[in-house]
Amino acid sequence: MHWARRRCSICRKGGWRCSAAGGPPIVFAHGWLANANLWRGVVDRLAGDFTCLSLDLPFGAHRTALGDGADLSAKGCGALVADALDALELERVTLVGNDSGGAYSQIALSHRPERVARLVLTSCETPYDEFPPPPFDGLPAAARDPAVLGQLLGALEDSEIRKLPAAFGLLVKHPLDRRVSDAYALPCLRDPEILRDTAKVMAGASTEAVRQAGAVLIETWKNPVLLAWSREDPVFPIAHARRYANTLPVAELVELDDSYSFTPEDQPAALAAAIAGFAGG
């Protein structure tokens, strides 16, 4: 199911899509060139027992551009996640992040942990990865000029090119539905203001910010962390997840088969089961 026509409530800095059952709250954060649709298969499986809120963050596939003064540095993007939790007035949240959404979730938690009870990281940056990792590590330099980034991303107009390793081919093992792929790739190519936001986000990526956040979590975060990781991930190595799980104070690792980085796309059922067991425990 595609969520393009579901109601989207807009908050001060971004939006969210909600499927509520009155159960414990789970908030989902996506990464670059994705949106709330990333979690549709996971949310559909969890919504009977949890209040699920999938954030629409301004990372390239959003529909409402931010103002010129928006802070879209790595720390600023982390603050967007924390701001959403404040706006929703949620307590004891299970926060779930995938890809760069996992990086920003760690940054958010390292600065403003008070609303989060549990953290789920699924195939994302750890303190042992570059942000962004290869082969996407050239994007921040290109993003210093939105026009250059627009030329680079312009190839994503072609749905076949999106399947290549330099695009979504290293992120999804199983091809995306065309409507979902369009929803991820096209917004920043259709609206110059959304492209401007995307450029600011990518130019603001910081390996050091993730490492600092990880250090804070290792030192001070005593609540449970679940790392639900693709065993075959070509971008975020499973070895890094194992190392992080062994270093965090209270952490467990679940390894997912037949998936790349976008675990919510490739293995929504397995990921939902792992989250349900963790968040409901």
Beta pairing class for 9-11 and 14-19: antiparallel
Over residues 46-70, the mean pLDDT reads: 94
Confidence of residue 21 (pLDDT cuts 50, 70, 90): low
Over residues 241-255, the mean pLDDT reads: 99
Q: 2-41 in b/e burial notation, b at 16+ Cβ within 10 A?
A: ebeeeebeeeebbbbbbbeeeebbbbbbbbbbbbbbbbbb
Query: To the nearest whole percent, how much of the chain has pLDDT over 70?
Result: 92
Q: pLDDT tens digits, residue range 184-221? A: 999 999 999 999 999 999 999 999 999 999 999 999 99
Domains along the chain with CATH numbers: 9-279 (3.40.50.1820)
The pTM of this model reads 0.94
Give the pLDDT score at 68. 86
